Each structure stands twice: as structure tokens, then as C-alpha cells.
Structure 1
Amino acid sequence: MELEVWLNGTHVAMLSENRRQMTMAYTGEAHPVGAPLVSVAMPVGAGRYSDPKVRAFFRGLLPEGEARRMLAYDFGLDESDDMGLLAVLGKDCAGALMVQPKGDGAALVAGASTKDTVDDAEIERRLRALPVHPLGVDGHIRVSLAGVQSKLLLSRLEDGRWVLPADGVVSTHILKPAHRDLPNSVVNEAFCMNLAARSGLKAARTTILSFAGTKVLVSERYDRRREVGGIRRMHQEDACQTLSVLTIVPEHKYEEFGGPTLVGIARLLEQWGDAQSKEELLRQIAIHVIVGNADAHGKNVSFFHQEDGTVCLAPVYDIMSTEYYRTAYARSMSRTLGLFVNAKRNINEVTVEDLVSEAERWGMRYRTAQSVLTQLLERLPNALDQAARDVPEVPQALIELVQERITSARAEAARLGQ
């Protein structure tokens, strides 16, 4: 099987599979040589890339876990058939790439304004159908997004109306219903994401909306940008893709099971990015620790490709306090970090000094790391109050948990600064 890989309207590569070996070769339209066009793991060149780099990148565009199994079944494919799934789902995936069968013609993006809108009742029906139609995929809608959590992809018009991402219409928003096993998951994530944004981090915009009585977290896709004439797709990839970590099972995105490390991510930014991105990475990791989110892993860190061939850190996303469920509900949520900090595995053992030491391992100066964290911690108390107002439904127990963690971190930072 052969698939075409398109980037912003240009056919840049051919993807092939023969005897279970996936390969990718750039076309003559891909330039300049050495540019990380598809991935920083596969710069433009005359050669042919092969597994595991190729599969790690392209498999990373596909859903994981039960969603992957169900979609494969619906399309009559084997669960392990990456090429088959890309052929049916690859036209609307993360970033700016479009993957499609050879010979389908120029990959075009249609204007959502020309399509029929859907009302709240229809959206609620599709949310209820997610257990059997992951991502909202059906015979008409073909979209892909990595992750295991249940979610619905939609496109939103400038006037606020919603449109199905079908026939070339690009999805612009991710709708996440409440997690069946985690009470208050919608307000938990909305609160933590607003806290990150209010404290100065670049964060995906999130809000809570209700559709026919069903409350969901609505996240604006940071890899989509509204411009005159339509929606522009922004090319990006996550740390598992950039570091060629093959996620055969979802656990592989965690450092404990061979996933990316913070040092590896920082080295990538050193090679392809800038110092500001490393400082933002430190802020991202710090906010996960502050709210008590042990679940931040290699697919929760992503990079934007820039026109000059460099990359920068993408906005932070998927922040939720896992520690809240241990304290408020006595749930057996893991405290093992998805990305270890200064070799610490337990999130409750990570100190401000550990965060500074981790940054030093990336080549950051002690004083620089200390300053980045001190400034973040100074903003957090006010950001906490603002986030609580942004999300009035947030449980008091969650506010108090995060407040205690902020107070503890600020006290330690003050001692270090003496």
C-alpha cells in the first residue's frame, strides 16, 4: 500500500508498507534539504526513512487503546493496520499533515461556512454515541486524534455555530465529556487549564459548555488558526513522534515504560528550538507538579514547526489534578510521574529544588531556572483566585488541594532564595 503525505497543499512525501515494514521518502516538492518538514526525526533528504522512525511518527497520529480497536473493527481492518487506518482517517489529524490514498488528487480543505450546522440536540446525541463511534467517526466523518480519552471533534464557525468535520471541513475544537470513572473531570481539567493560562503559560483555550443538558469540556485546537478565508492548520508533533518512541500500547508514552524523558525533550529543543522554549518547558512541568498531575507524559508535550525550520514548544494541554482523586475520593490513582523530574518518580516527592536541578540537566543555569520558577510561583496565588472565578463549579476540595501545594512550593522557593 502507498499513501500520499501532504503539507499545506503540497505533496511532500510518499508513505509505503511492504512486508510489515513502513518507509517514507520525500518527493521533489519537499525542500529545503535538511529541513524537518514532516518530523525533526526525518529531515528532508534524498534517502528513504524506515521503521521505527516512520511508524513511530505516523502511528502517533492515530487514536489509541479502545478507540483504535473500535475504529479498526468499524472499517474492517486489523487493529495493527496503521496504513489502513491512516488511509481512512488521515485527512484530518493532528497538525497540518494530510495522509490519503495514492491518486486521490490534491488534498484540499473545504470552508466550513458552506456546510450544514448541527444543533445542541445533535451534538448531545453524538456525545452519547462516543462509546460506539470514537471521535464522532462514522461513514461520513473521518478524523483522527491521538489519545485514549473519549472525545468528539467539531468545527466552529465565527458566529459560534457548530459544523461536522466532514468532506474536507477541518475540526477546530475538541469536546470531552465527563470521564465515567473520574467525578468532576470536566471542571477539574477546566480549572487546571485556566490556572495555567492565568499564571502566564501558553495554554490551549478551554471552557465548559452544555449541550442539551450534557456538560463537556471544550478545548480550542491550538494547531488550528482562523485566518481570512478559512482555517489554517499548524504543523506540530509530540515528543513521542520527535524522539521516535513507538507507542505500540498507550503505556509506552510514559517514561516508566520506555517513553520520552525530559532530558531528551530538552536536547531536542536545544538542537531545533531556542532557550525560551526550555524555560516554557520548565513552567509546563512545574504546573503539572503544582496541581498534582502525575499523568503528564510524552504525548502531552508537543512542538510547533516554524517557517525557518526550527521548532518551539506548543501550548500546554490536558492538565488535570490526579492527586485530587486520591485525596477527595480515595481513588488508587498512580503517583508515578509520566515524566520523571530529577530522577524522582513520585509526584509528591518532587520539590522546587528538584525542578531546578532537572532544568540544570538541560543546560539551564541554576539562577535562570530559579528565576523562572520564582516568577511562576509569585503569579500563582492570584491565578488561583481567577481560575476559581473562571470555573465556578470547581469543587472546594480541589481549590484547597492546589492552594496547599502552591503555599508549600512558595515556602520552599523562599528558603532556596535566601
Structure 2
Amino acid sequence: MNKLTISYDKQTVGFLSFNSDDETFSFEYSKTWIDEGFELSPILKFNTNIPSKSIKNFLENLLPEGKGQEILSNFHNISKNNIFALIELIGKETTGALTFSLNDEEIKTSFRELPKKELAQRIKDRKNTPIEIWDKKPRLSLAGVQDKLPILIIDDKFGFGEGKLASTHILKFEKEDENILLNKFLSLNLASKAGLEIPKIKLIKIEDEEVLLIQRFDRELKVNKEVKRKHIIDACQALDLSVLHKYERAFGKNLEDYREGVSFKKLFSLIHKCSSPILTKKSLITWICTNLCLGNSDAHGKNISFFISKDKMTLAPFYDILNINIYKGKYDTDFAMGIDDIFSYDELSFYDIIEFCKELNINLKGFVKEFSQVAKNISTSLDDDIFINFVETNKMIFYKNYKKDIKTRIEKLLKILK
């Protein structure tokens, strides 16, 4: 039996075990944590026999996806299916506050500075030298598919922290010539103008390499230069679903009737678990309207998270908002979650909006009013070119196409709603 200690801010939360004979997981909260702590998710309840599948789903959603997971797997000769070993590998710094360790060993606090020149060279060479590995250690400990690197910033110095230190920011990198970084920067800022809370973001240059710098909302650098970690879970973890089910149609168009993944109906079922259901519902409706306007059809179950603490569950800031529709023909632009039974802009009608609102118990007039306000805020921001100073000359064509794409979509959606 393999066993890991799960900790939160120096407190023992519980113990994770894996039986390799029958490949089952078990998890047991510590008595002290039951008395003083909180349940890690709506699924991982105190004083219950938690199913192995639920534990596996929770852990799997902490792991990187795609290329990131493959690099970690290959570099350390660990099967991608060996969730327990991968969690132990990245367990000192997973998303949120939890740490996973063998024998509850204490890690010495250290800061490994990343000189800008070294970092810029590694960004430039990342196709040949995996940026996820530094000093023969895994540095990618975040869920998701896109190329990224978690870093710690202290006194304007970039680096990696261990022990009482941990990453406070995320660097995201450009993908070929797609202007993904500018797209994400514009989309997140427009989402903020629409009324959503977002993380603090900046487009910066490291030497001559452009990156998107995102401040982590699950971390806080204290004045004594320790990092406070905050526990968060994504919607898949909250709903007891695997990474495979982050899309409502988990197996895509080929099995379009299989809709067992994260849906708006399932997402809205979490509202009553939140500390402020009314505010949570309002924010989710604004998020839906914003995604429709911006063309963020890839808004899936791992792109929405919740803070969890004692007797409290609240929405985290919204992240990974991107106009994916502008890449139509290169990427799938179907909705991650259906509006009623519709998964594309081309098929969307007012009837679908009516049925969608009925199913989710949303006031139809209220939805139309919210959409109109979101559309107005986004359109005004684009008309006024309030982000034009962040657009370099060689990216002006993309910016104009981005504006046109969103404005055209908003006009079509407003016609449907009227």
C-alpha cells in the first residue's frame, strides 16, 4: 500500500492511499482536520467511505494535461496512467493549497532565481528543451493544456520557490503566429469591463520574448516573504467528474447524444452550495453572456473554479477567456456546454434561449437585459479602443479582425434576442 500525507498550511488534512493490486484509492481525513478544518470538496465528505473513483477524479483534475503531462511522464519514466506517482511528483505545489508528500517530510525553504536572460533563452528553445523541467525538477504543476510556467516573483525577481515559498504568478507563452497572448489579454480585459472578476494580467517582454503574466488568485505573498496558499477546486472536482468530462459532449460530435460531461444544468446545481447563491447565479449568467459575445466557445468545466474554506464556497475569478471563434477552421468552435440542445452560433435561435432559461430557472427578461448590458460594455470598450496602446504595430491587423469578429457576433446575437 502506497501512502501520501496531504497537508494544508502545515496542518495534516489526511492520508491518501493507493492499492496497486486492484488500483484503488482511499482517503481518510485526520481527526484534527475534521475538528478544525473543512471538507475539501462537496464530494469528499467527512466521516464517509469516499469511493475510489471520486478520489481518482479529484486527483486527476490536479494534473497537467496534454503535452505537459506527457513531458513529465517521459522525463521521469512514469506512466501517464499512474496518477498516484504523478501526484507525488508534483505534490509540493499543486493548484490551490494542498501539498502531497511521502512521510510528511519538511521541505527546506529556498528561492532559485531565474535571470531574465536564462528565462528568455528557455522560452525561445522550449520546442527543443521542455520548459516544464528545470534543474532536473518538474516545474509544471498546473492543470490545463496550454504552455505555461508557474513562477515566484519577489522584489521584481523571477524564480522558483520551495518550502514556505511557492509560485505567485503564471507565465503563458505564444503559440506560433496565432496572437494567443494578445487575444487572451484583450478577452480577459473585456470580460472585466463586462462585469466579471478576473486575475491581474500583464503583457510583458522578457528580453525579446513576449509573455502573458498572470497573478495567481490562489496565492498571496505575505510581508514576511512567505506565500499563503488558498484552496480551490474546479467544476469537474466539484461535480465528481473526470478530466475527460470537462466538455458536456465528452466524446465530441461522433457521440453527440452522450452528454454526461459538465453542462450548464450541472454547473447551476452547485449554486445552492455556495455561500451567496444569488450573487453566484448572477455571476454565472454574466459569464455566459460574456462568453457568447467574445466567442469563447471553449468555456469548459475546468475553466471555472471555487474557493473552499470552512463553511464557505465562493466563485474564484474567471480565467482562460479567449475568442476561439476567430480561429474558426483551425480549431473546433462548438460550444463546450450546450445552450438547450444547441452547440454552435449558427444554429442558435431565440427559442433555444427561452428553453435554456426555463431549464436553469433564469428569468428570460433578466437574461436579455444582462446580455444587452454586457454587449454594450464590450462594444463601447472596442469602439473607444481603450486597449489600443497594448497592441504592437505588427499585430494591428489581428486586432482589427478581432474587433470586427466580436462586433459582428454581438450584432447577430442582439437580433436573435430582439
Judge same fold: TM > 0.5, yes or no.
yes
CA deviation map 1:232-262 (0-9, x unaligned): 2111111111111122xxx532111142111
Matched, 1:185 2:180: yes
Give the partner amino acid of 1:173. H
Pair 1:156 & 2:156 matched: no
- Structure 1 match to 2:28: 25
Structure 1 residue 20: deviation in Å?
0.6
Q: Secondary structure at the match of 1:218?
A: strand
Supply the AA of the counterpart residue of 2:271: L
Residue by residue, what CA displacement relative to the aligned partner does 1:58-97 show, whole Å, maximum 9, x if unpaired? 1111111222122012122122111111111011111111
Q: CA deviation at 1:168?
A: 4.8
C-alpha distance in structure 2 between counterparts of 1:380 and 1:186, whole Å: 19
Aligned-residue offset at 1:133: 2.8
Q: Do structure 1's residue 269 and structure 2's residue 265 form an aligned pair?
A: no
The count of residues paired between Structure 1 and Structure 2 equals: 397
The answer on 1:285 being equivalent to 2:283 is no
Corresponding residue for 1:319?
321
| Whole-Å separation in 2 of the counterparts to 1:282 and 1:171 | 31
| 1:311 Cα deviation after fit | 1.4
* Backbone CA RMSD of aligned residues: 2.5
> Alpha carbons of 1:174 and 1:357: their partners in 2 closer, same or farther (altered >3 Å)?
farther
Within-5 A mapping of 1:139-150? 139-140=136-137, 142-150=139-147
**How far apart are the structure 1 equivalents of 2:149 and 2:331?**
25
Q: Is the 8 A contact 2:68 2:140 kept in 1?
A: no
Q: Look up the match of 1:252.
A: 245
After the TM superposition, which residues 176-215 of structure 1 pair with which residues of structure 2 at under 5 Å, given as runs? Answer: 176-180=172-176, 183-215=178-210
Change (3 A) 1:129 1:353: farther
The residue matched to 1:368 in structure 2 has which SS? Answer: helix
Counterpart secondary structure, 1:370: helix
Q: 2:406 aligns with which of 397, 402, 408?
A: 402
2:67 is the alignment partner of 1:72: no
Candidates 209, 231, 234, aligned match of 1:235: 231
Candidates 360, 363, 374, aligned match of 1:362: 360
TM-score when normalising by structure 1: 0.87
User: CA separation in 1, counterparts of 2:164 and 2:75?
Assistant: 21
> 2:132 — aligned with what?
135
* Residue 298 in structure 1 maps to residue 301 in structure 2: yes
Deviation of 1:207 after TM superposition, in Å, equals 1.8
User: C-alpha distance in 2, partners of 1:356/1:168?
Assistant: 51
Are the aligned partners of 2:140 and 2:148 in contact in 1 as well (CA < 8 Å)? no
* Counterpart amino acid of residue 324 in structure 2: T
Query: Corresponding residue for 1:15?
Result: 16
Distance 1:353 1:13, change over 3 A: farther
- Unpaired segments of 5 or more residues in structure 1? none
Please give the secondary structure, in 1, of the residue aligned with 2:335: strand
**Aligned residue number for residue 212 of structure 2:** 217
The CA distance in 2 between the partners of 1:16 and 1:51, in whole Å, is 10
- Asked if structure 2 preserves the Cα contact closer than 8 Å seen for 1:141 and 1:165, the reply is no
- In structure 2, runs of 5+ residues without a counterpart are 251-259
Instruction: Give the whole-Å Cα distance in 1 for the aligned partners of 2:287 and 2:376.
Output: 15
Q: Which amino acid aligns with 1:154?
A: I
What's the CA shift for 1:358?
3.0
